[in-house]
Amino acid sequence: MAVFEIVMPKLGESIIEATITKWLKQEGDAVTEDDALVEIATDKVDSEIPSPVEGTLKKIHFGEGDTVAVGTVIALIDMDGEDTGSEEEAKEEDSSGQKGETLETEEKSEKETASDKTEKPDFSDSNRFYSPLVKNIARQENVSISELDSIEGSGKDGRVTKKDILQYLDDRKDGKIKQPETTTTAPSTGQKTIETPKVTAGTGDEIIEMDRMRRLIADHMVMSKHTSPHVTMFHDVDMTRIVTWRSRIKDQFMQREGEKLTFTPIFVEAAAKTLRDFPLVNASVDGYNIIKRRAVNIGMATALPSGNLIVPVIKNADQKNLAGLAKDVNDLANRARNNKLNPDEIQGGTFTITNFGQFGNSTGAPIINQPQVAILGVGTIMKKPVVVETDEGDVIGIRHMMILSLAFDHRIVDGALGGMFLQRVAKYLEEFDINRVN
């Protein structure tokens, strides 16, 4: 019998585990090559694992809601399509350490002892991700999910580490429940923990539970505002040259490149050039250290049909021409809306662009996408009466105007740098070469 192992794939250099959210195939189901087997989620992106082979799904080793380390076998596919109850299968399961049976035994053991011990935490009720080690400690020490969620994590992206939960257990044992101290090279802010006000629902109110992605977005936005002192600047841009050029060339561009030409790749191009001119904006802050990024990787905030937001990243945007940027923009946007992005495609961003104009809004004050230090907002392009300088004097003309906004981290970007950066982006847009073809 030829058996193929489905493993939890590598989901990016910083991701070591993922949560199984939904099995799309069940044991005994026939699968063809590239059939989606299971939906998985990380703290970065939701994704699907396709089957690389054709056969029958013989065994599922993990259930929905389980968090699994990268490289772990999560299912077996019988490529011969034989009966899954064969003698060879039994031998294989025995020789592999009784993977399926061990899991079932553990689940039964938990259910049998539940009545004798404090209720075990249901991690599906949490909006945070915990490593298998932290989960095991929580189960063994009867740490409720609400207690676990209250622990301030010192790991990457605020994750709770082994040290954090052990410190919490020590504090609980001593009768002093407090958040563990974290080591950092950043100056002390003197901030105190602020409790959110208690909210109660009134008669007729509807309570809608946030989905997993909305929870992550909410946490990330709050974290960003707590991390960076935001300053936002605005600048009017005359987009008339670009609007005229695009109207003239978009059909030709479609025929030549096979791609729709939107304004987004033009914004990305201008931002990439400006980031090369002002590399301190293409940076991150680590305590008292400034990390100037070599790569110019520009994220573009993309609205999803669910109402949530995701930010796919165009890698090395400064090294691509307009045709290359258009291909990347269209491809990433389409796959983002269809939940087909790979985890690596939403990581490594050094700067972000968000488009308020796609919803008809003139401008907005965006929130920085940590750990970046700036984000560019583009508003809708509108015809407006504007004073135009000519050789014969000033006249009132109808121009296509747009408002740019730049939110930046005042820890390292001062008003002068932020203002020069925003002005340079506007300059690249207003002096756009209308004779170019790509």
pLDDT digits (tens, 9 = 90+) for 210-225: 887 788 888 889 999 9
For the chain, the farthest-separated pair of C-alpha atoms sits apart, in whole angstroms, at 94
DSSP letter for 204, please: T
Residue ranges and CATH numbers for the domains of the chain are 3-111 (2.40.50.100), 117-182 (4.10.320.10), 230-430 (3.30.559.10)
What's the pLDDT at 291? 95
Q: In what order do the strands lie in the sheet with 17-23?
A: 46-50, 36-41, 17-23, 67-69
The C-alpha atoms of residue 284 and residue 169 are separated, in whole angstroms, by 34
Alpha-carbon dihedral sign for residues 250, 256, 260, 266: negative
Peptide bond into 279 cis (omega under 30): no
Catalytic: which of 80, 344, 414, 433? 414
What's the pLDDT at 92? 43
- SS3 for 115-166 is CCCCCCCCHHHCCCCCCHHHHHHHHHCCCCHHHHHHCCCCCHHHCCCHHHHH
Measuring CA to CA, which residue among 36, 49, 44, 54 is closest to residue 12?
44
Averaged over 407-416, what is the pLDDT?
96
Catalytic: which of 34, 157, 410, 433? 410
Q: Does the pTM exceed 0.75?
A: no
What's the pLDDT at 267? 98
174 catalytic? Reply is no
Residues 6+ apart with CB under 8 A from 327: 257, 259
Paired tokens of 261: 């030409």
Measuring CA to CA, which residue among 423, 276, 281, 428 is closest to residue 350?
281
414 catalytic? Reply is yes
| pLDDT at position 48 over 90 | no
Averaged over 310-317, what is the pLDDT?
95
3-state SS, residue 74: strand
The C-alpha atoms of residue 81 and residue 3 are separated, in whole angstroms, by 10
Averaged over 3-27, what is the pLDDT?
82
Rg of the chain over CA atoms, in angstroms?
26
CB 283 within 8 A of CB 338: no
> Which residue is it, tokens 């983002």?
336
Query: Per residue in 168-195, pLDDT tens?
Result: 888 877 776 644 343 344 444 454 556 6
The C-alpha atoms of residue 18 and residue 47 are separated, in whole angstroms, by 10
Averaged over 22-31, what is the pLDDT?
90
What's the pLDDT at 115? 41
CB 165 within 8 A of CB 142: no
